[in-house]
Copies of this chain bind each other. A is one copy, B any other.
Amino acid sequence: MDGERVDAVLRHMRARGGRITTALRSVVEVLDRTDEHLTAQDIAAAVQATHPAIHVSTIYRALDRLSEAGMVTHLHVGHAPVVYHLGHDHHGHLVCGRCGAVVDVPATLIRPVAAQVERDYGFTVEPGHLALGGLCSSCAESERLDTLPSHTHS
């Protein structure tokens, strides 16, 4: 177990001159106890399970503070709301454009492209903030069925 990580984050936040409020702590705890990618609303719901008074806008502000401090990263997943996660682990993301699933891929996998892109375009890829769109295996499957240039397409 590791309330460790929560403490580390909170300590870091305090070191920056921030205050450790119930809201902030709750947000960090929620993020710490999952490795899913949560939307602000997800986090709000989880937080409110124990602290019903904490407002969504507070969640957003907490996430802002944490982002500024580099303690959380967010990711844009297509037309769906932004998702957040603790840390700035440099892994890439595959986002299914159909079901919205987010698949994590190790940074090593995208590093070669990142390197070449940087060389050719001077563009610094931020691996954590990275998302490749496409279709996850199961959606690709069903898509294949839909698109069959088949018989009567009921």
A124 to B134, CA, bound (A): 5
Q: Which of A72-88 contact B (CB under 8 A)?
A: 76, 78-79, 82
Interface pair A112/B112, CB less than 8 Å apart: yes
Give every chain B residue within 8 A of A133 (Cβ-Cβ). Answer: 76, 125-126, 129-131
Give every chain B residue within 8 A of A130 (Cβ-Cβ). Answer: 132-134
A41 close to chain B: CB less than 8 A? no
A137 close to chain B: CB less than 8 A? yes
A82 to B80, CA, bound (A): 12
A109 close to chain B: CB less than 8 A? yes
A22 close to chain B: CB less than 8 A? no
Interface pair B113/A109, CB less than 8 Å apart: yes
Interface pair A117/B132, CB less than 8 Å apart: yes
Interface pair B112/A137, CB less than 8 Å apart: no
A13 close to chain B: CB less than 8 A? no
Give every chain B residue within 8 A of A132 (Cβ-Cβ). Answer: 110, 113-114, 117, 123, 125, 130-132
Complex partner residue of A123 from B103, B110, B124, B125, CB under 8 angstroms: B103
Minimal beta-carbon separation of A130 from chain B (angstroms):
5
Minimal beta-carbon separation of A91 from chain B (angstroms):
13
A121 to B91, CA, bound (A): 14
Interface string of A101-140 (1 = CB under 8 A from B): 0010100011011101100111111100111111111001
